[in-house]
Homo-oligomer: A and B are copies of this chain.
Amino acid sequence: MSATRTARERARAELASEIKDVARIQLGVSGADGLSLRAVARELGMVSSAIYRYFPSRDDLLTALIIDAYDAMGAAAEAADAAVPSTELRNRWRAICRAVRTWARTNPHEYALIYGSPVPGYQAPQDTITPATRVPFALLGVLRDAFASNRLTAPRDPPGFTQRLIDQVGEIAAVTNPELPYQTLTRALIAWTQLFGMISFELFGQFVGTVDPTDDFFEHATQHMADLVGLPR
């Protein structure tokens, strides 16, 4: 009975993921607002109402795609990190950055889904938050190890640390790496925005006519970021 039950359930899970696969391809053609349940159903050779057996609405399908995208990007970052010896801090940092960029370039429309302009009228539910933290957590992991082994240098910070900023950063530290000084965490935040700023510019066409192709600029900027957060050269 458990065998038969899983038979049906397996079919169900398989079709659900086929639906997502087709939807992902559709994303590439027409973007998030262009994602159409009818088109997905057509592609799968089924009638549009059948999709509702798997996803209660278009927004739920979108949410599933968003979660998958965050998870795929996070997994890519973690795998790249794990492939570098853990004491090679700067190389780990660079590997994570590179993996995020490569994933984004390989899956530009999924990237746009999670880091582009929000879909109007769509409110991302709570379930997306945890997967979204995987990349920043991977970056913080490098800093944690660097700090623990006393290899984190402290660049001279500019003025501008208000108490409110210190408190905000302190709250992030509390739920992630309480041992890291707030200065380090602030610099990590800056590097984090820098990383995605570059990738968005590259994918959304802002570099056309300047640093395009972007490979060399990206590598160089990544080194600057490693300097900023205090990783040894």
B-binding residues in A (CB < 8 A): 29-34, 112-113, 115-121, 124, 129, 132, 157-162, 164-165, 168-169, 172, 186-187, 189-190, 193-198, 200-201, 204-206, 209-212, 216-217, 219-224, 226-228, 233
> Pick the contact of A204 from B115, B168, B194, B233 — CB < 8 Å?
B115
The interface residues of chain A, by DSSP majority, are classed as helix
Q: What are 18 contact pairs spanning A and B, CB under 8 A?
A: A113-B117, A118-B205, A158-B227, A160-B216, A160-B223, A162-B216, A162-B220, A165-B211, A168-B210, A172-B210, A186-B217, A186-B220, A187-B224, A189-B221, A190-B221, A193-B194, A195-B197, A197-B197
Find out whether the CB atom of B33 lies under 8 angstroms from the CB atom of A34. yes
Cβ-defined contact, A216 with B31, below 8 A: no
Select A233's contact among B124, B158, B200, B206, beta carbons within 8 Å.
Answer: B158
Q: Are B31 and A117 in contact (CB under 8 A)?
A: yes
How many copies of this chain does one complex carry?
2
> Which of B112, B186, B193, B216 lies in contact with A165, CB distance below 8 A?
B216
Bound complex: CA A113 to CA B227 (Å):
33
Once the chains are docked, how many angstroms separate the CA of A120 from the CA of B34? 8
Instruction: List residues of chain B with CB within 8 A of the CB of A32.
Output: 117
Closest chain B residue to A162, Cβ basis? B216
In the assembled complex, the CB of A134 is this many whole angstroms from the nearest CB of chain B, namely 14
Asked if A220 contacts B117 (CB within 8 A), the reply is no
Taking each of A121, A162, A216, A226, which has the highest tally of chain B beta carbons within 10 Å of its own beta carbon?
A: A216
- Least CB distance from A161 to B in Å reads 6
Given A158-B226, A223-B159, are A168 and B198 neighbors across the interface (CB < 8 Å)? no
Q: What residues of chain B lie closer than 8 Å to A205, measured between beta carbons?
A: 118, 124
Which of A116, A117, A164, A200 has most chain B Cβ within 10 Å? A117
